[in-house]
Structure 1
């Protein structure tokens, strides 16, 4: 769970004392260990919890402020710890659960209740989660806490600037219109000091970086009660689970059980190795549209993070398809129809991943429409919903795999390649310039390093797409 980076230690690990932006993490090691020890004592005091004697927590051996390290060899499939659902922190377990049940908080994000209960427990003098909050970092260095100038200088072209701007707008809007009025309304019950936008933003950062969402249960399953089904999308703060730092090539996985959660080793782990959890929370909607730096405050160097993605706007694909068409007027007609009638039903843009196009059906739809003849398009325009469903049944696998893209038509490969090339021009530096900066990576502060990792990784994916379409 430790920040600034849920990543492995290597020669490129940022020097946290290089500038004032990193001082929030320059924690005194002995105090850090004391808090970790107190947290472990609190965790172990619950009879329903289990903590494997083969592991320990603290700053020693961790790539960041705190982490979990093996004291002896661990076999694949061993339970590292088990935590009772009773001490997961969420609206139904907190000390104001009755209030939240009696007077629910409704918000667009769905986070407000959790954030209110977290603020309340953080400020409460006798909260059972005091040791948990004590071991959390004072701040998570997410881009939303950077200056606007830093974001624009370091992250232009990545999509993170736009995502952060949306986040900040929503956070302030939700706090002012929903959270603050609710806290004022129940000021006799909710802990003093919670009506604070800065505290609220800190809790938001904790949820973004450290929360876990239980994977949805099979809708066809009859094995779960109505109450369990109701709770399937609840976001939890999971003490101890967020003690593990995150990397793509992880060696542990959090498993959800009826009465508890278990962290289990996914491979054999040797003594003194750090245990790492998965960096991406797959229960998040559109997880593939998220970036590690945006959500967690760190990036991994390419190609270590095989969850890296880069977006190509649908508008870009459509505009280039228009330019490539022989009949420009007809292509404009199809593109306009698509933008007006279909794009509003699609979420996000074309997403490129480590192996190919993740949203292959979306790109397939765009290319298919743009190659239609007048007679085909007339039918499609009249019955676009039925036509879309038919298109979905076609094989789109050639778009999902870089190695198969050689089998695409030349017209499709040209549109895809030009779209990727267009996206390469939106960054403030070239791929070659990034490669030169990477040679001097140790001279950069952590924000500059993580931004460089993100930009370079995205550009490499775009270049990989271009090469696949040659």
Structure 2
């Protein structure tokens, strides 16, 4: 995905694609609603990693404005044609996600022939061809509503709120024309900034002429990208990728090392104490990134408690865990794993091996599929994306194996 974009036939201010009415209509709409596109950028289907994207017509430097979207052009419950109705029924439409008002706004505007946002909708992906996992089942009801849920999940934005504002009510999502055209990359080169009157997309690093402009959808592992957006970044592009080790898997690995019933009972006592400390849970997972342990406190405490001598555990338990000022600093990072206590490394290694056993195929099988272009090409899009998810996770887990050897 990170390869430089091809030179496209692009549409932008001052130029157009005669064979792309949707883009031309969208650009006219931008001018009409005051959405300011830099002359250095272009909207195009060609030279992009997926669907429509935005390309640099000229070299762009960090800090340069790529486009600015006036708040009146945002598609939100309060800007749509039924905004007054949605506001009147606000109490009945409350939900944990805060999505319902926007979904109803989209349902209305998408089916209204004279909608202000019709030229914007023309750039949307075909709703019937969305690749999100929620559409894998062949039977579904409320089809349009479900499709719009996927659109909101994949293309909406949530404006950052102050902490006290977040406590009052959920932060409702909104649709940001132009911003949702940008594709995602972990190593993105643009970022959306919020102000009172406009939302501005600004370059964060140099963008050479002809290269694609990428936003970020957040620090997301491939499984999260697949769940939320229906795509992944091929290994090794996604620097935010992670692999999970289920917390109960570490418990299972520790139980395998017990020699008798007394040791097993003590292990269960240690586990129950970790639950009391809220370091572990039956449904939880330790999250391992490519460059860091995202749950380092939980994993370090779990390894310590499960591996410490019995006398030390009793002291630790009596103190309800040592005070922060008294205990040693457990800074569990990827780089210091080889220097961990041998019992910690052994337990971590056994946990990784058990995790790898949960996959139906091994790493070599995945590598063979990825390197055999003919076989890979025969896989469906969903099979290819699932393969990339598994492969990235296994690469992280195998790296852990090397570090714990």
Aligned in 2, Cα 1:114/1:372: closer, same or farther, shift over 3 Å?
Answer: farther
2:289 is aligned with 1:356: no
Q: 2:199 aligns with which of 255, 261, 276?
A: 261
1 CA distance for matches of 2:300 and 2:205?
Answer: 38
The TM-score with structure 1 as length reference comes to 0.73
Contact in 1 for aligned 2:247/2:282 (Cα 8 Å) = no
Find out whether 1:203 has 2:141 as its counterpart.
no
Match of 1:425 in 2: 357
Which residue in 2 is equivalent to 1:293? 226
Q: Which has the higher contact order (CA 8 A, sep 6+)?
A: 1
1:110–1:388 Cα change, 3 Å: farther
Secondary structure at 1:462 match in 2: helix
Q: Is the 8 A contact 1:83 1:261 kept in 2?
A: yes
2:264 aligned with 1:328, yes or no? Answer: yes
Measured in 2, the distance between the counterparts of 1:62 and 1:392 equals 54
CA distance in 1, matches of 2:341, 2:19: 58
Which structure is higher in helix share?
1
Report the Cα distance in structure 1 between the residues aligned to 2:284 and 2:27, rounded to whole angstroms: 42
Residue 138 of structure 1 deviates from its aligned partner by 1.5
Q: In structure 2, what is the Cα distance between the partners aligned to 1:198 and 1:59?
A: 27
State the 1:380 CA deviation.
Answer: 5.7
* Residue-by-residue CA offset, 1:391-439 (whole Å, 9 max, x unaligned): 9985332x23x22111211111111111111111111211001111011
CA contact (8 A) 1:406 1:469 kept: yes
- 1:314 alignment counterpart: 247
CA contact (8 A) 2:223 2:232 kept: no
TM-score normalised to structure 2 length: 0.84
Counterpart in the other structure of 1:129 = 117
1:219-239: per-residue Cα shift (whole Å, max 9, x none)?
6xxxxxx7x996883322211
Matched, 1:271 2:209: yes
Mapping of residues 38-437 of structure 1, within 5 Å: 38-47=25-34, 49-104=35-90, 105-139=93-127, 140-147=130-137, 197-217=142-162, 233-278=171-216, 280-281=217-218, 291-325=224-258, 327-339=263-275, 342=278, 348-372=284-308, 377=313, 384=320, 387=321, 390=324, 395-397=329-331, 399-400=332-333, 402-437=334-369
Q: Residue 459 of structure 1: which of 394, 401, 405 is its match?
A: 394
Structure 1 residue 61: deviation in Å? 2.2
Q: Can you list the C-alpha shifts for 1:28-71, whole angstroms capped at 9, x where unaligned?
A: xx898211221121122123x31101111121322322111111
3-state DSSP of counterpart to 1:342: coil
Give unpaired runs (5+ residues) of structure 2: 6-16
> What SS is found at the alignment partner of 2:214?
strand
Structure of higher CA gyration radius: 2
CA distance in 1, matches of 2:351, 2:253: 7
CA, structure 1 residues 456+288, in 2 after alignment: closer, same or farther (shift >3 Å)? closer
Structure 1 unpaired stretches of 5+: 1-6, 12-29, 149-167, 173-195, 220-225
Residues 306-332 of structure 1: per-residue CA shift (max 9 Å, x gap): 111111111111221233356222012
SS at match of 1:276: strand
